[in-house]
Amino acid sequence: MSPADIRIATAQDEPGLVAALAGLFAEDPGTRDPTVSQEWPWRSGPSSVAAWRADASRLVLAAVDGEAVVGILTGFITEPTDYRPVRVAVLHSMYVDPAHRSDGIGARLAESFRSWARQRQADRMSVTAHAANTDAIRFYRGHGFTPRHLELDGVP
């Protein structure tokens, strides 16, 4: 199998990006967070993806095999504040189609994100993963992310 191209997402990629977000939602928050709407990717994904692509401060990457989007990565930069006086590159979401997970696409997306963060002079990188998603945590740890804090959730 030929390697997928990793590129800045185009308008033509948007339906595939939305489908990738739906795959992410079905696989990750859908099985780990009952408060997340599984309809979000189909209902709000198209307008969100278009807005992300139009925002110069955001990164929207597509991993494309032929004409098919087989992976997505989105990220953004947070500017320094009085509380946290550093620029942080936030890896917002990443998904690779299960049929392509042994192709190195995730590693190439993560390295593209790291390069983008360096180009934008980020001081730190950040990503959030569900505590039960041990595969994602292992992947991110292998790409230079380390735990900083743990968010706990409960029902009142």
**Domain region containing 23:** 5-142
64 lies in some domain: yes
Closest CA to 154 of 34, 25, 40, 37: 34
Q: What is the pLDDT of residues 58-103, one digit of tens each?
A: 999 999 999 999 999 999 999 999 999 999 999 999 999 999 998 9
Query: What's the whole-model pTM score?
Result: 0.92
What is the number of domains present in the chain? 1
Contact indicator for 121, 87 with CB cutoff of 8 Å: yes
151 lies in some domain: no
CATH number of the structural domain spanning residue 55: 3.40.630.30
Q: What is the pLDDT of residues 106-132, one digit of tens each?
A: 999 999 999 999 999 999 999 999 888
